[in-house]
Amino acid sequence: MSGIYVHIPFCKQACHYCDFHFSTSLKNKNDLIKSILTEIDLRMEYLPDKSIETIYFGGGTPSLLDERDVFLILEKIYKNYQVSKNAEITLECNPDDLNNEKLKALKRLEINRLSIGLQSFIDEELIWMNRAHTAQESESSVKRAQDKGFENITIDLIYGSKFSTLSNWKKTLDKAITLNIKHISSYNLTIEDKTKLGHDFKTKKETAIDDEKSSDMFLEMIDRLEKNQFIHYEISNFGKEGFFSIHNSNYWKGSYYIGYGPSAHSFDGVSRQWNISNNPNYIKCMNEKNEAYFEKEILTEKERFNEYILTALRTIWGVNLNYLNNHFNHDFTKLFLKQITQYIEKKQVSVNKENYTLTETGKLLADKIASDLFV
């Protein structure tokens, strides 16, 4: 089964660390929604399998949309695809958008998974990030969503800023745990060039936290969350039993998906394509039914192999030897087995039958180990 991603490129304000495609102006929102509906019709034949297991509204800030906007998109998807009866339907939201009326609307739309971008429980840090909500709103939004019957809730947390101390991080994790969250996605702060934060680092207004402190916080997070029944099923993702992100897990397992909206990506097993990151141009192309709205690349066997290694190694399922043998040149597999030996000996990779997974120390070096295994 396949997945659908819908990119909603609007935000109230620009977070200082974010380099995703978005606009803080909603003046062309209605035209953008119409264009997404047009794209859904135009690309009906893209996916080999029209059976849909997951729908994910990302952004940007999808919770800025009106109920009717989301309804129209879902209606079009259900018309064009065979959506599973128990499909996981996720919508990313900011805490300050989740008032009672918004939550009731999301329930009516049968959104069954909320991804709430809390990022921090420290007000000073939220101000520094230029987030639109407070720490109190973070907590209140989760409790309101739970009161309205949303059980499948994931939150985003960021560590590694200048406000991050091990003590503060422990308090943040404890707060998330006491809120009875079922899933947490947590990321080490990265400095992207085309952001306010990236500019401040270049001009020495900000300084980076050292890698050792970030590693300590990462290991503390693993220990604290696993002691509270969270399963560390991907480098940045922790879920309780039955609450893993199906949508993202399918990405990591190499399933097919289609992305609608500006900057959205798609994958059909042999090629990858991505839409232009420009709202007016995207709308213009949809009005003209002009295919200049995306770029496309055909993936070589080598590229597909490397992508599988990169994503699979980050997960609890790991790299599967049978999958390598059945999908790739046997010379690639031989090279993998030769290269992986050094990490097994260093106890950074463990082997369980046909699966190769990172150990706790290996997780600190995930990107390096993966790149060393590329062909």
Model confidence over 95-138: pLDDT tens digits?
999 999 999 999 999 999 999 999 999 999 999 999 999 999 99
Q: Is residue 43 exposed (0-12), middle (13-18) or buried (19+ Cβ within 10 Å)?
A: middle
The counts of H helices and E strands in the chain are: 15, 15
Looking at the predicted structure, is the pLDDT value of residue 314 above 90? yes
Q: Does residue 137 lie in a domain region?
A: yes
* Confidence grade of residue 53 (pLDDT, cut at 50, 70, 90): very high
Query: Residue 88's pLDDT is what?
Result: 98
**Total domains present in the chain:** 2
Q: Kindly state whether residues 225 and 339 are assigned to the same domain.
A: no
Q: Is the dihedral of CA 96, 97, 98, 99 positive or negative?
A: positive
Q: Kindly state whether residues 132 and 67 are assigned to the same domain.
A: yes
Q: Kindly state whether residues 98 and 177 are assigned to the same domain.
A: yes
Digit-coded pLDDT (tens) for 69-83: 999 999 999 999 999
* 33-40: average pLDDT: 98
Instruction: Pull the structure tokens for residue 87.
Output: 């499909």
Q: Does residue 262 lie in a domain region?
A: no
Conformational region of residue 270, where left means phi above 0, alpha means psi within -120 to 50, and beta covers everything else = alpha
Q: Is 4 helix (H, G, I), strand (E, B) or coil?
A: strand
Q: Kindly state whether residues 163 and 236 are assigned to the same domain.
A: yes
Q: Kindly state whether residues 318 and 244 are assigned to the same domain.
A: no
Domain range for 334 is 301-372
Q: Are strands 113-119 and 82-93 parallel, antiparallel or unpaired?
A: parallel
Whole-prediction pTM: 0.95
Q: Does residue 33 lie in a domain region?
A: yes
Q: Kindly state whether residues 6 and 133 are assigned to the same domain.
A: yes
How far is 3 from 110, CA to CA, in rounded Å? Answer: 17
Q: Is residue 373 exposed (0-12), middle (13-18) or buried (19+ Cβ within 10 Å)?
A: buried
CATH of the domain at 326: 1.10.10
Q: Does residue 167 lie in a domain region?
A: yes
State CA 201 to chain mean position distance. Answer: 25
Buried b (16+ CB within 10 A) or exposed e, 88-102: bbbbbbbbbbbeeeb
Q: Kindly state whether residues 220 and 81 are assigned to the same domain.
A: yes
Digit-coded pLDDT (tens) for 339-365: 999 999 999 999 999 999 999 999 999
Q: Does residue 95 lie in a domain region?
A: yes
CATH of the domain at 132: 3.20.20.70
Instruction: Pull the structure tokens for residue 349.
Output: 């990779």
Q: Does residue 280 lie in a domain region?
A: no
Q: Kindly state whether residues 12 and 154 are assigned to the same domain.
A: yes
Using alpha carbons, select from 173, 155, 168 the residue that is nearest to residue 221. Answer: 173
130, 221, 251, 326 from 30: Cα distances, Å? 26, 41, 30, 46
